Amino acid sequence: MWDKPEVLNRITKAVLAFTLLFALWVAGRAALEQRYPFSQVTVEGAAHSDTQHAVQALLPKLAGGFFSMDLQDARLRLETLPWVRRADVRRAWPDRLFVTLEEHEAAAAWNDRATLSTAGEVFPVRPAANLPRVLAPEGMEREVARRYGEFAQAAAPLGLKVEQVVLSPRQSWHLRLSSGIEVELGRERIEERMQRFARFYPQAVTAVGAIARVDMRYPNGFSAQRASAPSPLPSKANQQEKRA
């Protein structure tokens, strides 16, 4: 084949034609970007200053104009920002770009290394000092977020906040509330036990004063320990068989 001039001429012409078409495509793309650049960029949903700064730094790096920008690529790059849960990018003729962000809503500090959202997702942001602390096995994020919401809702009418949630590898729940009281919920009937705690806690405080710890792992009651007492207070609950 290589010793036939007519074949070589055809190959050469084909290569030249392809090169010319590619050059025209590149030139046309560049011309479109220069002719139809985005002159107005609107960003919504960036509540945190960290996100605002990161978006402003990222936008100039998103290549393309009205016709040539890869909106999918832009969305994926925006969703790599720490606070961003979801991003939507769209354009409007002739020169507008709209960026809508949904940020994570912080719920708690996750294992002292990241932040847990109210949706049960861990994202790589250093947790704020005022967030409740969660210590739990990896993979339990959604369950912990759901339970935390239940605990917080039950404690709120008592004027208390959940400061710490510990879920052991054996799936046993332990809480510390803003009053300093420790609440042992165990592994079973978690919601019912928390509701029982909320129902009887005011009566227990009125009867015995400050309480350091309560153990809710009883069928119908609980044991309580005074803040100044080294051992649990005698109660009806102490006569019942404690469960998990």
Q: Which pLDDT belongs to residue 234?
A: 46
The overall longest dimension of the chain from CA atoms, in Å, is: 108
pLDDT value at 239 more than 50: no
Banded model confidence at residue 57, pLDDT cuts 50, 70, 90: confident
Judgement on whether residues 90 and 139 belong to the same structural domain of the protein:
no
In angstroms, the CA 91 to CA 89 distance is 7
Average pLDDT over residues 9-33: 58
Average pLDDT over residues 4-23: 61
Judgement on whether residues 91 and 136 belong to the same structural domain of the protein:
no
Percent pLDDT > 70 in the chain is: 77
Q: What confidence tens digit (pLDDT) does each residue in 111-168 have?
A: 999 999 999 999 999 999 999 999 999 999 999 999 999 999 999 999 999 999 999 9
Q: Which two tokens stand for residue 11?
A: 């190959």
In angstroms, the CA 110 to CA 131 distance is 10
pLDDT value at 20 more than 70: no
Residue 41 belongs to some domain of the structure:
yes
Q: How far apart are the first and last CA of the chain?
A: 84
Find out whether 94 and 65 touch, Cβ atoms under 8 Å: no
pLDDT value at 50 more than 80: yes
Find out whether 69 and 63 touch, Cβ atoms under 8 Å: yes
* DSSP letter string, 88-145: EEEEETTTEEEEEEEE--EEEEETTTEEEETTS-EESSPPPTTSPEEE--TT-HHHHH
In angstroms, the CA 240 to CA 161 distance is 29
Q: Which pLDDT belongs to residue 155?
A: 97
CATH code assigned at 60: 3.10.20.310
| Side-chain half-sphere CA neighbours of 4 within 13 A | 5
| Model pTM score | 0.77
CB neighbourhood size of 198 (10 A)? 17
Domain, as residue range, for 74 = 34-103
Banded model confidence at residue 62, pLDDT cuts 50, 70, 90: confident
**Amino acid at the residue 198:** A
pLDDT value at 68 more than 80: no
Query: Higher pLDDT residue, 27 or 75?
Result: 75
Q: Which pLDDT belongs to residue 229?
A: 55
Q: Which of 142, 147, 84, 136 is nearest to 112 (CA)?
A: 136
By DSSP bridging, strand 114-117 and strand 96-103 are: unpaired
Of 103, 119, 146, the one marking the end of a domain is 103
Query: Higher pLDDT residue, 134 or 63?
Result: 134
Q: What's the whole-number average pLDDT of the chain?
A: 85
Of 88, 103, 118, the one marking the end of a domain is 103
* Cβ neighbours of residue 155 closer than 8 Å, sequence gap 6 or more: 161, 162, 177, 198
Judgement on whether residues 122 and 206 belong to the same structural domain of the protein:
yes
pLDDT value at 17 more than 80: no
In angstroms, the CA 176 to CA 160 distance is 10
Judgement on whether residues 116 and 86 belong to the same structural domain of the protein:
no
